[in-house]
Structures are given as structure tokens and as C-alpha cells.
Amino acid sequence: MANLASTLWNQGRWDDAEKLEVQVMEMSKTKLGPDHPDTLTSMANLASTLWNQGRWDDAEKLFVQVMEMSKTKLGADHPDTLMSMANLASTYRNQGRWDDAEKLFVQVMETRK
């Protein structure tokens, strides 16, 4: 299902991709747990779809969850955590929250050094 959702996403079929990504996320939470890396990936995929639809607030909520759980589960300097931080920073930028975006982008850059 995740592969089909990815194909739909790549075709720009956001609504169809979103429906499948919600199912994948819910199944992952149930089968693997809410903080499993695969669950976090499914949440980030859904957030990216929402982001591409211009649904910044919905995307932000998911990106915040992914970032916080990634920090706890994987560590603050894990590449997936840093990617989740960069995704959230991009969301802040698109919302016009320049200071919040800058702070996160700087954190990501400093951690990657």
C-alpha cells in the first residue's frame, strides 16, 4: 500500500495518496507501535502529502509529532530526525513563520557539521 501511495504521490494524485497514507499510518501504529521508525516514515509521508496540498497547519502537526518522536527514539543527531526538522522548518517558511524556520534550519545545519 505504501508503494502505491508513493506512486500516486509521484503522479500528483494527492487526495488518492492521502487516503492510502492514512491507512498505512494507522496500520503501522497498530502493528508496529506509534514510535517505530516505519510508523514515523508513514507519518512523514502523509505530512508531505498534506504539505504539497498547501495544508500547512495539518502538515505542521504531523511534522512536529514526527520530529519529537524521532528525537526520542532515534536521537537528536540521527539523519531521519534532522530531515524531520528540516521538513518542519520548510513548513514554517511556507506559513511565513520566518524566525521559527530560521531557528530550525540553523539547528539542522549546526548538527550536521
pLDDT, tens digit (0-9, with 9 covering 90-100), for 78-101: 999 999 999 999 999 999 999 999
* Burial group, residue 52, by CB count within 10 angstroms (0-12, 13-18, 19+): middle
Q: How many Cβ atoms sit within 10 Å of the Cβ of residue 38?
A: 14
Residue 7: per-residue pLDDT: 84
pTM: 0.90
pLDDT, tens digit (0-9, with 9 covering 90-100), for 28-73: 999 999 999 999 999 999 999 999 999 999 999 999 999 999 999 9
Grid coordinates standing for 25? 499510518
Residue 38: per-residue pLDDT: 94
Measure the CA–CA gap between 109 and 65, rounded to whole angstroms: 21
73 against 5, higher pLDDT: 73
